[in-house]
């Protein structure tokens, strides 16, 4: 039995193999399209395969559906095994070098027998690569440099790192007389949890001056490419930044185009074609050679105008993943997405009592300064000894301190006493109910025994959720982006259990976590499960991470009604008591 993730990887691997074979590019694309279709599929995957419903997905036809079914149900795919046997397994690492695609990898392998990055480096240095047809001295040098860069940097970056440099770049152009419009684009604008590179778009009448100014940006390490309308650089921190320059009237088209996602844009272009139009990064115009009489094209000055012209409500960047947003925009059923200023408080935060860096008072004052109406303190519990988890005595002392401190604040700001209670290996909690009952709420999280099977882990977490004092399930998969894989857990089952038990699920806003993942919130929301956006702040500064949580919540289609942090203090307190009183 294979999982959805394994199937996606299979399809992508097949696409790569077909590329090296030099297969029909459209056939290759069909496999990557099928992988994309599965990525956005949030229903029960094994059931859909078993009931032969997987072929109903857009982009998956009979042939691939049959292959998926064979792979998932027998655990192997004969077609793939044969294909794979034609090439050494290590050859895939060559695709990780920018500048190498299917054609070049094929040439390197067939003509020089190169099948690893190490072999490529040797061949590039001793001159064999430069002698291949289609390669040259410059290509060889670029490959050597790319291999060296790869050694230093991993290739993807957290949203938080991207934000620092995107903000800096926009700042760099602040007040520049030739900038008439500027916006970040790409996956950063869409709020993806990790970012490959930065895209900055500028509208101007003076493209060469803008490119010139871009190249003056101090943190640039080296210039990768520069032309008349775009330039690419590598920043010293390892992030690649691409600047695109367009004319003012082209800006909305270019912004939409470079924001993506690719899949979203493909559908938009399809809609344009239905009207006899062509949509690209510069314009919406009549499709040359279209047999249709094109509809008249309305004037377009903003992205919103563009969506309207295509018969759609404006789609916020975070939703542009071809995850159902276009159908919803057509019917006028897009959600009114949550915004940062809708948040009135937050729940999961630490103090110096466990592993935080600031005191209770400092955290409270910072939250009050931020304009929040309440701050929940949830320090670690005793089993998390690596984080100086609180025992019963120190926890109850903290509850007392919170009561005292609350007297110092006006009625418009309150601290809530909670705990981030460890879910033990068997699903029991780290404190007995009598202790938990003395708190305003309980966040229950897994912090140890990560290696249980998916079945056991799911059972363990559900058992914890069945405790009536567990208000919120903390970071449901335990992932640390770019550094630790999530533990195995069936989120579809967890969401069902949250619905059944009346447990809130956390959207941990720490940019290293962003857990539960945005791809599951739409499903949770449809089942009536509520979300708590928590920065998991370990310092005063950590409270700022709410910004990332909002981005992820918006990607998950959440509105202020779906997120309990948007409730007024009294309504929120009522909600916190609801499960334990029922």
Partner DNA sequence: GCCGTTTTCGGCCCGACTGTTTTCAGTCG
Q: Which residues bind DNA (CB under 7 A)?
A: 24, 26-27, 29-31, 33-34, 57-65, 98-105, 130, 133-140, 142, 186, 196-197, 199, 225-230, 240, 242, 258, 262, 265-266, 269, 273-274, 278, 280-282, 290-292
* CB 291, min distance to DNA, A: 6
Cα–Cα separations (whole angstroms), residue 74 to 2, 85, 121, 329? 8, 19, 39, 40
The encoded tokens of residue 357 equal 């860096």
* CB 64, min distance to DNA, A: 3
- Give whichever of 199 and 318 is closer to DNA, judged by the CB atom: 199
Q: Which residues face 215 on adjacent strands?
A: none
Distance CA 16, CA 31 (A): 9
The encoded tokens of residue 257 equal 């185009």
* CB 580, min distance to DNA, A: 48
Distance CA 241, CA 384 (A): 40
- Cis, peptide link before residue 446, omega less than 30° from 0: no
CA nearest 350: which of 545, 564, 576, 548? 545
Asked whether the beta carbons of 529 and 491 are under 8 A apart, the reply is: no
- Give whichever of 121 and 242 is closer to DNA, judged by the CB atom: 242
* CB 556, min distance to DNA, A: 24
Q: What is the largest CA-CA distance in the chain?
A: 79
- Give whichever of 228 and 299 is closer to DNA, judged by the CB atom: 228
Distance CA 510, CA 514 (A): 6
* CB 347, min distance to DNA, A: 37
- Give whichever of 101 and 371 is closer to DNA, judged by the CB atom: 101
Distance CA 549, CA 349 (A): 14
- Give whichever of 56 and 581 is closer to DNA, judged by the CB atom: 56
Distance of alpha carbon 82 from the chain centroid: 34
Distance CA 10, CA 16 (A): 10
Distance CA 75, CA 254 (A): 44
Task: State the DSSP string of 369-412.
Answer: HTT-SEEEEEEEBTT-GGGT-B-HHHHHHHHHHHHHHHHHS-TT
Edge-to-edge strand list for the sheet holding 220-226? 181-184, 197-203, 240-246, 230-235, 220-226
* CB 362, min distance to DNA, A: 42
* CB 102, min distance to DNA, A: 5
Query: What kind and span of H or E run contains 6?
Result: helix 4-21
Helix (H, G, I), strand (E, B) or coil at 349: strand
- Give whichever of 135 and 469 is closer to DNA, judged by the CB atom: 135
* CB 22, min distance to DNA, A: 9
- Give whichever of 199 and 420 is closer to DNA, judged by the CB atom: 199
Distance CA 418, CA 185 (A): 39
- Give whichever of 155 and 561 is closer to DNA, judged by the CB atom: 155
Strands (E), 228-304: 230-235, 240-246, 277-279, 284-286
* CB 397, min distance to DNA, A: 53
Cβ neighbourhood burial of 428 (10 Å; 0-12, 13-18, 19+): middle
* CB 138, min distance to DNA, A: 3
**How long a stretch of residues is the chain?**
582
- Give whichever of 269 and 496 is closer to DNA, judged by the CB atom: 269
- Give whichever of 140 and 572 is closer to DNA, judged by the CB atom: 140
CB-based contacts of 463, cutoff 8 Å, min separation 6: 426, 427, 428
- Give whichever of 143 and 524 is closer to DNA, judged by the CB atom: 143
CB-based contacts of 452, cutoff 8 Å, min separation 6: 425, 460, 487, 488
- Give whichever of 262 and 397 is closer to DNA, judged by the CB atom: 262
* CB 240, min distance to DNA, A: 7
SS3 content of the chain, % helix, strand, coil (to 5): 50, 15, 35
CA nearest 266: which of 37, 513, 561? 37
- Give whichever of 16 and 348 is closer to DNA, judged by the CB atom: 16
Cα separation of the two ends of the chain: 39
Asked whether the beta carbons of 474 and 420 are under 8 A apart, the reply is: yes
- Give whichever of 283 and 519 is closer to DNA, judged by the CB atom: 283
Q: Where are the alpha helices (DSSP H) in 87-136?
A: 102-112, 117-125, 128-131
- Give whichever of 285 and 575 is closer to DNA, judged by the CB atom: 285
Distance CA 31, CA 189 (A): 27
* CB 146, min distance to DNA, A: 9
CA nearest 455: which of 423, 485, 427, 420? 427
């Amino acid at each position: 039995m294979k999982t959805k993730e394994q199937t996606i990887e299979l399809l992508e691997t097949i696409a790569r193999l077909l590329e090296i074979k030099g297969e029909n590019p459209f056939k290759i694309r069909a496999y990557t399209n099928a992988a994309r279709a599965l990525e956005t599929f949030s229903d029960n995957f094994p059931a859909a395969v078993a009931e032969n419903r997987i072929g109903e997905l857009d982009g998956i036809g009979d042939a691939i559906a049959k292959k998926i079914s064979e792979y998932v149900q027998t655990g192997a795919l004969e077609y793939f095994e044969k294909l794979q046997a034609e090439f050494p397994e290590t050859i895939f690492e060559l695709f990780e070098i920018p500048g190498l695609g299917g054609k070049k990898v094929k040439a390197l392998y067939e003509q020089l027998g190169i099948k690893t990055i190490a072999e490529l480096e040797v061949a590039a240095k001793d001159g064999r690569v430069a002698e291949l047809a289609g390669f040259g001295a410059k290509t060889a040098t670029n490959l050597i440099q790319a291999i060296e860069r790869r050694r230093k940097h991993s290739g993807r970056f957290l949203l938080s790192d991207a934000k620092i440099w995107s903000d800096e770049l926009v700042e760099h152009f602040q007040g520049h007389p030739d900038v008439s419009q500027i916006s970040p684009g790409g996956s950063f604008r869409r709020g993806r949890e990790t970012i490959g590179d930065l895209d900055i778009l500028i509208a101007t009448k003076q493209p060469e001056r803008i490119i010139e100014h871009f190249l003056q940006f101090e943190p640039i390490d080296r210039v990768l490419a520069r032309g008349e309308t775009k330039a690419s650089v590598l920043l010293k921190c390892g992030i690649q930044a691409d600047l695109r320059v367009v004319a003012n009237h082209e800006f909305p088209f270019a912004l939409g185009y470079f924001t993506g996602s690719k899949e979203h844009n493909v559908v938009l272009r399809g809609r344009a074609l239905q009207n006899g139009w062509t949509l690209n990064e510069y314009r919406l115009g009549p499709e040359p050679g279209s047999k249709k009489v094109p509809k008249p094209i309305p004037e377009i000055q903003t992205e919103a105008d563009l969506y309207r012209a295509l018969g759609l409500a404006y789609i916020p960047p975070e939703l542009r993943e071809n995850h159902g947003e276009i159908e919803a925009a057509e019917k006028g059923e897009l959600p009114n997405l949550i915004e940062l200023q809708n948040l009135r408080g937050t729940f999961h935060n630490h103090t110096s009592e466990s592993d935080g860096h600031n005191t209770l008072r400092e955290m409270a004052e910072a939250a009050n300064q931020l304009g929040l109406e309440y701050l929940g303190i949830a320090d670690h519990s005793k089993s998390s000894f690596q984080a100086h988890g609180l025992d019963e005595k120190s926890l109850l002392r903290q509850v007392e301190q919170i009561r005292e401190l609350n007297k110092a604040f006006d009625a418009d700001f309150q601290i809530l006493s909670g705990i981030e209670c460890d879910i033990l290996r068997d699903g029991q909690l780290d404190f007995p109910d009598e202790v938990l009952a003395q708190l305003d709420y309980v966040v229950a999280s897994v912090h140890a025994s990560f290696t249980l099977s998916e079945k056991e882990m799911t059972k363990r977490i559900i058992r914890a959720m069945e405790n009536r004092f567990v208000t919120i399930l903390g970071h449901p998969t335990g992932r640390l982006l770019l550094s630790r894989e999530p533990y195995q857990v069936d989120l579809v089952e967890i969401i069902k259990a949250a619905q059944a038990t009346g447990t809130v699920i956390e959207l941990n806003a720490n940019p290293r976590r962003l857990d539960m993942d945005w791809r599951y919130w739409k499903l949770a929301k449809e089942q009536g499960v509520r979300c708590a956006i928590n920065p998991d702040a370990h310092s005063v500064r950590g409270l700022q991470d709410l910004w990332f949580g909002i981005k992820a919540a918006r990607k998950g289609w959440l509105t202020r009604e779906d997120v309990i942090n948007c409730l007024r203090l009294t309504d929120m307190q009522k909600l916190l008591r609801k499960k334990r009183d029922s």
